[in-house]
């Protein structure tokens, strides 16, 4: 299969993403580039960018979650993702169709808008949403929802065991 064409479809301001989501874009691009061109070792820039923007604790966690999304997405579509060069000043503020699908998926997941998130995840995997992509996206959305409060997990009662 041939890799997807790297064609920008529109400027960032054309779409309704919040500042947090705009901050994810360069991190995503660096990870995509590190898979497409391993010699660039662009994954290092992804982690550095996330740390600079969100601090060490949140930045490392966030970068790792974005990495898992990109890895799962590339596994579900081995022909790659179209992306703009994360270091290019001219294309920095434009999306490719694949970048837009990733951003829309996360945008809708963070707002708990299931049908729209499912549609965006389906675009990424070529039709039916891949379970690993959805799981990775929901993990990020759960940790970083739009209201800033993590969604509650089902709490389990502690289990006491006798150890001899």
Kindly report the backbone phi and psi dihedral angles of residue 145, in degrees, each rounded to the nearest multiple of 5, phi listed first: -75, 170
CB 50 within 8 A of CB 27: yes
pLDDT attached to residue 128? 80
pLDDT at 164: 61
- Predicted confidence at residue 83, as pLDDT, reads 93
- Which among 66, 37, 36, 68 is positioned nearest to 51, based on CA atoms? 66
**Distance between CA 105 and CA 120 in Å, rounded?**
5
Q: Does residue 24 or residue 78 have the better pLDDT?
A: 24
In this predicted model, what pLDDT tens digit does every residue of 36-51 receive, in sequence order? 999 999 999 999 999 9
> 101-156: per-residue pLDDT in tens?
999 999 999 999 999 999 999 888 777 888 999 999 999 999 998 875 555 444 55
Q: What's the rounded mean pLDDT across residues 78-101?
A: 88
Instruction: Taking residues 84-92, report their average pLDDT.
Output: 89
Average confidence (pLDDT) over 17-30: 94
**Average pLDDT over every residue of 87-96:** 87
> Where is pLDDT greater, at 24 or 148?
24
Whole-number mean pLDDT of the chain?
85
What are the structure tokens assigned to 11, written together? 């400027």
Q: Say if CB 97 and CB 9 are below 8 A apart.
A: yes
Contact between 15 and 103 (Cβ < 8 Å): yes
Instruction: Return the pLDDT at 147.
Output: 72
């Amino acid at each position: 299969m041939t890799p997807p064409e790297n064609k920008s479809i529109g400027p960032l301001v054309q779409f309704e993403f919040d500042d947090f989501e705009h901050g994810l874009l360069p991190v995503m691009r660096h990870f995509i580039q590190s898979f497409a061109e391993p010699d660039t070792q662009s994954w290092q820039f992804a982690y550095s960018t996330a740390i600079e923007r969100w601090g060490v604790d949140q930045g490392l966690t966030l970068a790792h979650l974005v990495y898992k999304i990109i890895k799962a997405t590339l596994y579900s579509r081995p022909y790659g993702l179209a992306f703009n060069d994360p270091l290019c000043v001219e294309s920095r503020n434009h999306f490719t169709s694949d970048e837009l699908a990733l951003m829309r998926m996360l945008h809708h997941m963070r707002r708990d808008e299931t049908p729209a998130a499912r549609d965006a995840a389906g675009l990424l995997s070529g039709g039916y949403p891949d379970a690993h992509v959805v799981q990775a996206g929901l993990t990020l959305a759960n940790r970083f929802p739009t209201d800033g409060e993590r969604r509650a997990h089902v709490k389990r009662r502690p289990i006491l065991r006798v150890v001899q």
